[in-house]
Amino acid sequence: MSPESQPVQPQVRRVTVLGAGSWGTTFAKVLADAGRDVTMWARRPEVAEEISQRHSNEAYLPGITLPEQIGATSDPAKALEGADAVVLAVPSQSLRANLVRWRDLLPKGAILVSLAKGVELDTLLRMSEVISEIAGVPSGEVVAVSGPNLAREIAQGQPAAAVLACADHDRAVAIQQAAFNSYFRPYTNTDVVGCELAGACKNVIALSCGMAAGLGFGANTMATLITRGLAEMARLGAKLGADPLTFAGLAGVGDLVATCSSPLSRNRTFGERVGRGETIEEAKAAQGGQVAEGVASCVSIRALAAQVGVDMPITEAMYRVCHEGCAPARAGAELLGRQQKHEWS
């Protein structure tokens, strides 16, 4: 192929981040620290002003100083003007409604990046599929971010890695180059199905690990839940065409270990509160506005698994606790009492 006929690598200099929660703000910091010009959209004008003027977002990242080159506005049209890439950083179950309001403002040709981890209720679509449907772009052009990405640790500059999944590898590489800095190392992957399913499922498994901790169980129980959780995630992924190796990588076991083990994980913390005896509503209130995605995801993932005939017992147990009122101790006993089987059957 001659130099003239080779595809031009997309260049990402200006990035818009739509959403000012903990992970959206952290990813904006990652991009700014990598030398990008970043504008954030925040739903509340006072949050946008705080980010722009005081270089902080105390509600979500207390004590973290943000780079001065991050600007913010509550006007989505202003935020999106001239963006080479648009990062969608809103919760999975509100992505569709927000994107409907934003789609006519999206700059033509901008790379769309999803930070949301979940499967949509009712439609059972992955986040890249929702974005494709609403924004009118091929799903193969959406970049999905996954991996062990606890926001506060990354905002503090602690070393971390991530996976940028996109069927169009050039787009993934463009975001990789835009986000690579001294503490954040992104890898690319073309298995969008595996990366997105792993990112959604691990939140449900983290609920179970939190509940186990709340019940007073130790490392053996945690390791059992993590590995058996990984097994059911991989079964679902295999049925839906994912690459099995994805579940052994950063988007699979990497994200699973971090989310199931850390007190910074909203899903693990939520589960621990429920394990200690709080009601679902009490645990939600204690989150202070931060969303535990696994509570909704266990509904959609359970439905998706049933649709394709995959057994996901931990997901089923979390559904029963979160939506049918089953006590965590009883759910655990039922998991242990299931029919004995071969490990890989």
Does 239 carry a binding-site annotation?
no
Residue 3's pLDDT is: 44
Residue 336's pLDDT is: 94
Does 43 carry a binding-site annotation?
yes
Q: Where are the alpha helices (DSSP H) in 74-218?
A: 76-80, 95-102, 127-135, 151-155, 169-179, 192-214
Residue 291's pLDDT is: 73
**Contact call for residues 187 and 250 (beta carbons, < 8 A):** yes
Q: What is the second-level CATH architecture of the domain 12-190?
A: 3-Layer(aba) Sandwich (3.40)
Residue 302's pLDDT is: 98
Helix or strand run (H / E) with residue 49: helix 45-49
Q: What is the 3-state secondary structure (H, E, C) of the chain?
A: CCHHHCCCCCCCCEEEEECCCHHHHHHHHHHHHCCCEEEEECCCHHHHHHHHHHCCCCCCCCCCCCCCCEEEECCHHHHHCCCCEEEECCCHHHHHHHHHHHHHHCCCCCEEEECCCCECCCCCCEHHHHHHHHHCCCHHHCEEEECCCCHHHHHCCCCEEEEEECCCHHHHHHHHHHHCCCCEEEEEECCHHHHHHHHHHHHHHHHHHHHHHHCCCCHHHHHHHHHHHHHHHHHHHHHCCCCHHHHHCHHHHHHHHHHHHCCCCHHHHHHHHHHCCCCHHHHHHHCCCCCCCHHHHHHHHHHHHHHHCCCCHHHHHHHHHHHHCCCHHHHHHHHHCCCCCCCCC
The 10 Å CB-count burial string (b at 16+, else e) for 34-58 is bebbbbbbbeeeebbebbbeeebbe
Selection from 266, 282, 199 nearest residue 236 by Cα: 199
Does 82 carry a binding-site annotation?
no
**Contact call for residues 269 and 210 (beta carbons, < 8 A):** yes
Does 266 carry a binding-site annotation?
yes
Mean pLDDT of 293-300: 93
Q: Of the ranges 69-78, 129-138, 278-287, which one carries the lowest mean pLDDT score?
A: 278-287
Residue 90's pLDDT is: 95
| % of the chain at pLDDT higher than 70 | 97
Q: Are strands 160-165 and 143-146 parallel, antiparallel or unpaired?
A: antiparallel
Q: How confident is the model at residue 280 (pLDDT cuts 50, 70, 90)?
A: very high
The span from the CA of 213 to the CA of 274, in Å, is 10
Q: Name the residues annotated as catalytic.
A: 202
| % of the chain at pLDDT higher than 90 | 92
Tell me the whole-structure pTM to 2 decimals. 0.93
The answer to whether residue 4 scores a pLDDT higher than 70 is no
pLDDT tens for residues 195-221? 999 999 999 999 999 999 999 999 999
Residue 212's pLDDT is: 98
Does 235 carry a binding-site annotation?
no
Handedness of CA 265, 149, 31, 159 (dihedral sign): positive
Does 20 carry a binding-site annotation?
yes
Question: Cα angle vertex 298, ends 294, 301, to 5°?
Answer: 120
- CATH 3.40.50.720: which residues of the chain? 12-190
Q: What is the second-level CATH architecture of the domain 197-336?
A: Orthogonal Bundle (1.10)
Does 160 carry a binding-site annotation?
no
Does 19 carry a binding-site annotation?
yes
Does 251 carry a binding-site annotation?
no
Does 199 carry a binding-site annotation?
no
pLDDT tens for residues 307-324? 999 999 999 999 999 999
- CATH 1.10.1040.10: which residues of the chain? 197-336
Residue 40's pLDDT is: 98
pLDDT tens for residues 84-132? 999 999 999 999 999 999 999 999 999 999 999 999 999 999 999 999 9
pLDDT tens for residues 24-53? 999 999 999 999 999 999 999 999 999 999
Q: Are strands 70-73 and 111-114 parallel, antiparallel or unpaired?
A: unpaired
Q: How confident is the model at residue 2 (pLDDT cuts 50, 70, 90)?
A: very low
The span from the CA of 67 to the CA of 53, in Å, is 11
